[in-house]
Structure 1
Amino acid sequence: MNLLRRNESDSELADLMRRFDSSRLGIMDPIRLVKMAIPEDMPIKVTEILPRLKDGGAFVKFRYSSELDPADIEATLKKRLKEKPLKPWFNPFRGIHARLVRGTPWLEDLHRYPGSVLRVEFVPAEVGTTPETLPEEVLYSVFRRYGKIADIIPQPADSKEVPKYANVGFPLLRDAIMARNCAHGFVVPKSQGGGAAGTMLRISYVKRVKGHNIWNWITSHPRIVFPIIAALLAGFSVIIFDPIRQFFIRLHIQHSFNFSESRLYKWFQSHRQSFSFGRRREQWENLSGVVWNHRLDVISQLREWLDVTSDNFIIVTGPRGSGKVEVVMKKALESRRDVVLIDCKPIVEARGESAMIGRLASAVGYRPVFSWANSVSSMIDLAVQGTTGVKAGFSETLESQLTKILYTTASALRDVALSGRSNKERDGTTSEDAWLEAHPERRPVIVIDNFLHKSEEQGIIYDKISEWAASLVQNHAAQVIILTSENAYSKPLTRALPDRVFRVVSLGDLDHGVAKKYIMGRIQNDREAAAERKEKVEGNDKAKGAPNLRGLDTAIETLGGRLVDLESLARRIQAGMSPSDATDEIVTESAVDIVKMFLLSKGSDAAEKKWSTAQVWYLVKGLAKDSSLIYNQVLLTPTFSSSMTSSASDGEAALESLAAAELISIRSDRGHPRLITAGKPLQQAAFARLVNDRVLVAKMDLAQHNEMAKIEAKKIAGAENELALLGNLPRQTSESAGRIQYLLVQIDTSQRKIEDLDKHMATCKKILSEEV
């Protein structure tokens, strides 16, 4: 008889029978449960108890009269336990079950623990006999008495494993334990399909899946496992790091760690006249006021746009060095606290994707950022793809990383915009979107500087920034101001925000009078500061005399009103140079830069540019003579329409590229380009300086005439080929005579041009040969 229950006590069991026969049984004693399960009126006597701790039960041996049938004893005990269930205190939901052992139990103490699936092996009952492979029907009849069977899985037909076997699965673990202990060693007789000598059942538990089995499965299914691991890591990153990153972005937007926003600094500023450098600070602000007053209309317009609800971009255009950042950040946004400046120049000039991601993250305060991790992930992806043939997906593309940073920033911007919302306000109970739309002054301001800088190399960055900025203004999460020196800014912005007329304001050069006041004020300011320093160091010695300002008006007319050039002029004058000498030095430096960057560039840099040396020299000579050139006339010249340089074959692209490099400026009329001028007044003076260099002119003219000669030779070759084709016709017709005459005239014209060009090239070569 096999009485089974779970969680048997671990106490010593040597005195089991003594405790069984004793009347002093505690309610906690497990042997008491065995005695309670066997009614006293049953005609049997317990002779031995064999506990099976790991199986949660016990074998009970008993003595009975030969007149009784063991099956009747089993049936009686089952009926009693069903009518009066015996539920132990540690398992109040299931009662004790009892079954008659039909086989030969194997009382082992191996590390084999119960499972719900049994492996039933068919072995010979006697030595020298052959066992039968039992069908599912026989197995069902043998094991069904121990509980409901979930499934019977026979051995695969192509398996050569011996002995033959079948797997029997039980829904309940206790039923599988009962079947294994009661049926192990049972011999299926011939009458039930066991063969002539019978078939013995050898039963064992199918091993459970353990840790190493899981690891084996993982290593054998990389195509499934690696994408799952990548998804889990991404989810972990979002759950753990995104809130931290949003926190740091909010701190960056609100300048929480900026000392200039602290109360101590503001108090210090309010009392700065009490300190020795207060006068210097005041003088600098008065000097800046000259420029601000000149651009007061632009500043007022920007402030007005920022205070009005709009889902549009604010664009500030102007050449480099015109002070766009200063006007926007120092004056238009002077009273705003939540301002973020994103400079695209260091981002697009970064070497490698990791550096690019790091600089963008630094610009918006996105941290922690593991820019190096993507390089490691890429190597892992490459290794996995090489071994499994499938990309694991650990690494992220540049586009996905940019999107992740920008839209995490967008979420933080919205939180900052809503941080000032209070239910005590009149519209405090409205929806978030309605409140943000009604309060444009509460939204943070994003300033994007150097937009489209080197856009031909990093177009994906500007596309992503444009899409992100469009989502900000459309969702009223922030206001966006874009600063650019490029004329093609509308293309990416229109793709991101179609059907909008952008709010555009332009900054030009300073007027002559304002530029003169600025320089004189800057010189005076620097002189007084130098005098103060000299007085502190050397006592009451006289300061340096006033600088020579003779010729300042002429210098300003030459350099124009570009702030960068005016700063350079003021520094040189303060250093002791006269305005004419300072201007001459600045113009010379600009001319040298033009020669190095545009005229004599060689190697890979020249191959990557969209213009040719001949095209640049044509513009330099033309603009040195005239202040402007007509756009379409330039395009019709052979140098631009038939360039022999493959990268400069598109004349319009060459002009646009030169305008982006600020060598020239293209002025439009009614939406189409009309005039070409120098990029700034300083360039005009530099062009004139270049054409006065006899040797340089000879060298550049020689290269230009050589290219034009090649163009004419190409025309002649084309005409000669067509004439040869016409000459191979069976007969000459009157229809082809006109074409032949035209080709002959074209050959003659091109030949005359080549002869003239050869004469000019001979003169240039003579000048170069005579160079000392």
Structure 2
Amino acid sequence: MAPTRSEDAPQIVEKTGTLFVDSIFPIQLGIWDIRHFFARHRKDQILASLQATMDQIHTSGFRVEKLEPRIKDGGAFVKFKYTEPTQAEGSDVPLEETPSLEAEIKKRVHEIGGIETWMGNKGGDVWLVRGKPWKEDMRRYAANTVKVYFEGPDIYQETLYALMRPYGQIADITNPVPVPAGTLRFSTVQFSSPRSATRAHNCVHGFTLVDDPAIAGQSSSGKPTRLATVYERKLKWQSAKDWIGGHPRIVGPIVLFLIGTLSYVIFDPIRTIAVQAKVMEWLDYKEFRVIKWLRHNTLDRIPFFRKQDSKSGSPASTGASESLWQDRKEAEHALRSYLHEIPSTIAFVHGPQGSGKTSMLNRALKNANRRTLVIDCEPLNKARSDADVINGLAQQTGYWPVFTWLNNFTNLLDLASVGLIGQKTGLASSVETQLKEILEVVGNALKGVSARHKEIERTKELARNLTEHAEKKKSDVADKTTEVMSHDGRVDALAGSGIIGELGVGDERMTEKDQDGKVKSSSTIRNTIDKAKAVLGANKEAVQKESEATDEPGSDTSKTGWKGNPVTAVQGVVQEVVKDTKQGAEKLLTVTKDQLGLSKQEPESSQSERTYKERTEIDEEIQALPVVVIKNFASKTSLTDELVNVLAEWAAGLADGGVAHVVVMSDNRDNGRRLEKALPTKPLTSIALNDADPASALSFVQDKLRQYGVSSALTKDQMLQIDRLGGRSSDLEALCHKVKNGMPVEMAVEDIITRGVGELRKSAFGEIEDAGSMAWSREQVFFILKSLAKSDELPYYDVLVDFPFKGDEAALRSMEHSELISITTQDGRPSTIRPGKPVYRYVFQKLVNDTIFRSIQDIALNEKAIASAESTIRKCEEELLTLEKIKPLDSGVFSSGATRQRANFLLQKLHEAETKIEKLEASNATLKKNLKLP
């Protein structure tokens, strides 16, 4: 009989579920993680193995419906169906005591041997998904921390811990924090590994539960809470940015330190190499051999370019320069002497514009053949901003890379910092600091230039020695052949056969047995003898005359060349050679090689070799030093005043440290005070250049007019007019341009003087509102102009101690700085005052001869003098009143009469001042009448 179904048995119900299988793929930790690319090749094999494993599980009617890989989280979802018994009515067996489905599946998987992973091992495991997984493909990668959002009442830590702990070790759980309205509250669960976090995220997301109260006896709200999980990266850019913005006092110094370290470690070596490349012309394409070869074989063959080159180097173009340089040989010699000494001070070359400073320097540097770095202050003086000054200096020195924008950025940070915390961050650096940093790198690079130059010279010396050794070896072989001291044994084969032919093995040195008596003269010796005879015969008369005029008893006969006793020695040698003796032949070879041959055919190379051999170690050290040239050394704006001071200190450091020779060029002698201040312990090597003399100036004008295609024939009156301009090159150039444009010489000279008057009115006297800002008063400058209009020069100290200066030396220095006057020195002290330009004397005369202008300035000058005299009178009167009170103390028979003598002196001084006032008042009355003239 078939068994009947019991009414108490549980009913079977079929349900669906989802499993998460972990670790079968690598967990992708970021976009940079490339492990998943390798795992994708085994994707089908791993899923097939997973399907086979799942098919072996039959617990509770377990049946796999679908596999969905979750490669980003390193696992896969398994959708399955299973049967679950339900509780029948009246049953006494509780359903909760039945084994858990998840535990049964885990047990069965372990019995089978585990789940195969991408690494080939059996390390996979299964977890029952309680919520609804979010299968997104965004760039949200696994992390140790999972943020759990609560869509409903908050979940207590105890409940959250019990829910999450099965998936792995938990390091920390945070309580929910207050959030803005409309935002979900959340807790963060920090696991010990990303593997545990991926399990929790894929199994708990979307799970809904009702939490029990944490306090016993407290009723629950009964509202369900849905959990939503997301990965949280440990370091977020937004948090880091907020922290950086909130701690400027900590971040600022750290950033500054990192920038400084980066600049010192990376950029400073690059900048040093860039400066060395500029000084040593590594990147100058004109110095490349290929470019030189191309130019020589292309452009130089075109007549147009040859014409341009010949014009630049023609005598017509250089004649005027040569003429102007006749009076400057002493200055050039002084500069060359400075460049051939160990540097200990600065060479300060000063002179007016057009005086030939640049030409003299170029000559001296060409003669010295030294590495040169040129810094021109003129374009830096025209800079409009701090960044332009820094960029200009960096470009001239080869300093690269330079980040001027960084200073602007730090300035903005300082402004923001002042607004936020009330003080600057200190990141921005001043212009002076940046200039010092640039020049410090340049100074270090110059030290490297010297070292590299020594390496190059040593390499050249080694190559020269190898060449000399090869030439000497070649010469020895030639000498052996010439002296017939060797023979080729293989030639013996021609003399016979058999054993005699086999003995010839090569070049062998002949012995005395092989020699046939006297040595025969070879063709080389005969050619040398004929050459010596021809040379002596052609120059016999000239040599004899010169020998009679220059020879003295006891003169040295060892000197090389064609002069004096060497010729007599050679002639004697030739006579001995004619006798065809062995001794004569050897002497002839020696004389011909050492005296005649090299002295005539290769004089330059021979001289350079002797100079190189005789060069001392000190000369080599000096030759290796670079030359730093600072041109147009002057400060015309407050912006470049810092630059000039920094350059002066830097130049002093280079010269004092023996790093380089420093040549500073300026149009004004007063600029040397900055250098003297920077180098107080050592005097400057001062080299002064003046204007050309009248003869040189006239020659300059004639040469220029000849170049312009204008007749250079000048009349006597025209020469006198040109003489009024003096020797200033700029004024002579202006004259030549005016004559070239069709203006007569007389009119051109007068136009230059008239234009100078207008410029002088503006620069010396200025406008009314500019009078207070000028470094001198109008009375002082007019006194100088009026005096120089009458005399070529004025005694310096006589002008300084008298009215209107009264010891005001700063006013005279300022006039010299503005090139209104020039102050000459004698024995290091100021001596005389002259016009700033030679033409200024006639400009002063023309300005003073203006009746209205002269009257106005004379009246102002007299008023100053009257005020000074009145001040003297008041002081005398006050002292006389004081003497009147103490007169009774100095009266009597035995009195010294000191008060009476002092009173007489004061009365005399008072009388002189009063007389001066009367004369000046009368002069002013006359001058005021001149103002009524049209």
The alignment partner of 2:131 has SS state of: coil
The alignment partner of 1:665 has SS state of: strand
Residue 597, structure 1, aligned to residue 777, structure 2: no
Map Cα deviations across residues 703-734 of structure 1 (whole Å, 9 max, x no partner). Answer: 2223444556778999999999x9xxxxx999
* C-alpha separation in 1, matches of 2:174 and 2:408: 47
Cα distance change on mapping 1:31 and 1:471 into 2, 3 Å: farther
Cα distance change on mapping 1:186 and 1:632 into 2, 3 Å: same
Select 2:335's aligned residue among 302, 306, 311.
Answer: 302
For residue 700 of structure 1, report the CA deviation from its aligned partner: 1.1
Map Cα deviations across residues 426-465 of structure 1 (whole Å, 9 max, x no partner). Answer: 699xxxxxx9995443454332222124266631121233
Contact 1:314 1:480 in 2 (8 A): yes
Map Cα deviations across residues 570-623 of structure 1 (whole Å, 9 max, x no partner). Answer: 778999999988776655554454334213x21555443211211101112233
Question: Which of 223-232 and 82-91 deviates more?
Answer: 223-232
Map Cα deviations across residues 604-652 of structure 1 (whole Å, 9 max, x no partner). Answer: 55443211211101112233445544545544445335xxxxxxxx932
Partner of 2:782: 617
Partner of 2:132: 106
The alignment partner of 2:459 has SS state of: coil
Higher relative contact order (CA 8 A, sep 6+): 2
Residue 508, structure 1, aligned to residue 669, structure 2: no
Map Cα deviations across residues 360-385 of structure 1 (whole Å, 9 max, x no partner). Answer: 566456789898x7999699779968
Question: Which of 573-582 and 662-671 deviates more?
Answer: 573-582
Partner of 2:125: 97
Partner of 1:664: 821
* C-alpha separation in 2, matches of 1:68 and 1:443: 98
Map Cα deviations across residues 18-38 of structure 1 (whole Å, 9 max, x no partner). Answer: xxxxxxx99813252375489
For residue 663 of structure 1, report the CA deviation from its aligned partner: 1.8
The alignment partner of 1:489 has SS state of: helix
Contact 2:649 2:678 in 1 (8 A): yes
For residue 488 of structure 1, report the CA deviation from its aligned partner: 3.7
Select 1:203's aligned residue among 189, 202, 227.
Answer: 227
* C-alpha separation in 2, matches of 1:198 and 1:207: 29
Partner of 2:194: 173
User: What is the one-letter code of the residue matched to 1:176?
Assistant: A
User: What is the one-letter code of the residue matched to 1:256?
Assistant: D
Residue 763, structure 1, aligned to residue 926, structure 2: yes
The number of residue pairs the alignment matches comes to 705
Cα distance change on mapping 1:205 and 1:242 into 2, 3 Å: farther
Contact 1:486 1:660 in 2 (8 A): yes
Contact 1:249 1:364 in 2 (8 A): no
User: What is the one-letter code of the residue matched to 1:118?
Assistant: V
The alignment partner of 2:669 has SS state of: coil
Contact 1:151 1:168 in 2 (8 A): yes
Contact 1:246 1:408 in 2 (8 A): no
Partner of 1:289: 322
Map Cα deviations across residues 49-83 of structure 1 (whole Å, 9 max, x no partner). Answer: 67572653435766699797646973994798599
Select 1:655's aligned residue among 778, 788, 812.
Answer: 812
Provide structure 2 residue ranges, at least 5 long, that are not aligned to the other structure.
1-17, 27-41, 86-94, 464-616, 891-898
* C-alpha separation in 2, matches of 1:655 and 1:159: 76
Cα distance change on mapping 1:735 and 1:167 into 2, 3 Å: farther
Partner of 2:863: 706
Cα distance change on mapping 1:154 and 1:489 into 2, 3 Å: same
Partner of 2:172: 151
Contact 2:344 2:658 in 1 (8 A): yes
The alignment partner of 1:151 has SS state of: strand
Cα distance change on mapping 1:269 and 1:491 into 2, 3 Å: farther
Cα distance change on mapping 1:220 and 1:306 into 2, 3 Å: closer
Question: Which of 623-632 and 384-393 deviates more?
Answer: 384-393
Cα distance change on mapping 1:617 and 1:201 into 2, 3 Å: same
* C-alpha separation in 2, matches of 1:624 and 1:499: 40
What is the 5 A alignment of 1:406-417?
none
Partner of 1:5: 22
User: What is the one-letter code of the residue matched to 2:191?
Assistant: F
* C-alpha separation in 2, matches of 1:360 and 1:146: 66
What is the 5 A alignment of 1:549-564?
549=716, 552=719, 556=723, 560-564=726-730
Partner of 2:63: 47
Partner of 2:45: 28
The alignment partner of 2:628 has SS state of: strand
* C-alpha separation in 1, matches of 2:446 and 2:679: 19
Partner of 2:375: 342
User: What is the one-letter code of the residue matched to 1:424?
Assistant: T
Cα distance change on mapping 1:634 and 1:231 into 2, 3 Å: same
TM-score (norm 1): 0.70
What is the 5 A alignment of 1:409-558?
421-422=455-456, 424=459, 439-454=621-636, 458-470=640-652, 479-494=661-676, 496=678, 499-510=681-692, 512=693, 515-516=694-695, 518-522=696-700, 525-526=703-704, 529=707, 546-549=713-716, 552=719, 556=723
* C-alpha separation in 2, matches of 1:161 and 1:204: 16
For residue 482 of structure 1, report the CA deviation from its aligned partner: 0.8
* C-alpha separation in 2, matches of 1:68 and 1:273: 110
Give the root-mean-square deviation of aligned CA atoms: 6.0
Provide structure 1 residue ranges, at least 5 long, that are not aligned to the other structure.
10-24, 125-130, 429-434, 535-543, 642-649, 727-731
* The structure with more radius of gyration: 2
User: What is the one-letter code of the residue matched to 1:152?
Assistant: I
Contact 2:380 2:640 in 1 (8 A): no
Question: Which of 573-582 and 603-612 deviates more?
Answer: 573-582
Cα distance change on mapping 1:88 and 1:528 into 2, 3 Å: same
Map Cα deviations across residues 371-430 of structure 1 (whole Å, 9 max, x no partner). Answer: 8x79996997799689868989999864466557656766776676666544635699xx
Q: Percent of counterpart pairs with the same letter? A: 24
Contact 2:208 2:226 in 1 (8 A): yes
Contact 2:786 2:848 in 1 (8 A): yes
The alignment partner of 1:29 has SS state of: helix
Cα distance change on mapping 1:353 and 1:248 into 2, 3 Å: same
* C-alpha separation in 2, matches of 1:395 and 1:582: 55
The alignment partner of 2:45 has SS state of: coil
* C-alpha separation in 1, matches of 2:308 and 2:419: 71
* C-alpha separation in 1, matches of 2:165 and 2:873: 102
Question: Which of 317-326 and 206-215 deviates more?
Answer: 206-215
Question: Which of 315-324 and 568-577 deviates more?
Answer: 568-577
User: What is the one-letter code of the residue matched to 2:714?
Assistant: P
Contact 1:249 1:366 in 2 (8 A): no
Select 1:118's aligned residue among 146, 162, 170.
Answer: 146
Cα distance change on mapping 1:273 and 1:388 into 2, 3 Å: closer
Cα distance change on mapping 1:155 and 1:766 into 2, 3 Å: same
User: What is the one-letter code of the residue matched to 1:480?
Assistant: V
* C-alpha separation in 1, matches of 2:254 and 2:780: 57
Contact 2:855 2:928 in 1 (8 A): yes
User: What is the one-letter code of the residue matched to 1:522?
Assistant: F
What is the 5 A alignment of 1:718-757?
756-757=919-920
Select 1:134's aligned residue among 153, 156, 180.
Answer: 156
* C-alpha separation in 1, matches of 2:216 and 2:776: 95
* C-alpha separation in 2, matches of 1:490 and 1:447: 15
* C-alpha separation in 1, matches of 2:868 and 2:124: 106
User: What is the one-letter code of the residue matched to 2:284?
Assistant: S
Map Cα deviations across residues 86-115 of structure 1 (whole Å, 9 max, x no partner). Answer: 5512586x93234566xx422444678565
The alignment partner of 1:169 has SS state of: strand
Select 2:358's aligned residue among 325, 331, 335.
Answer: 325
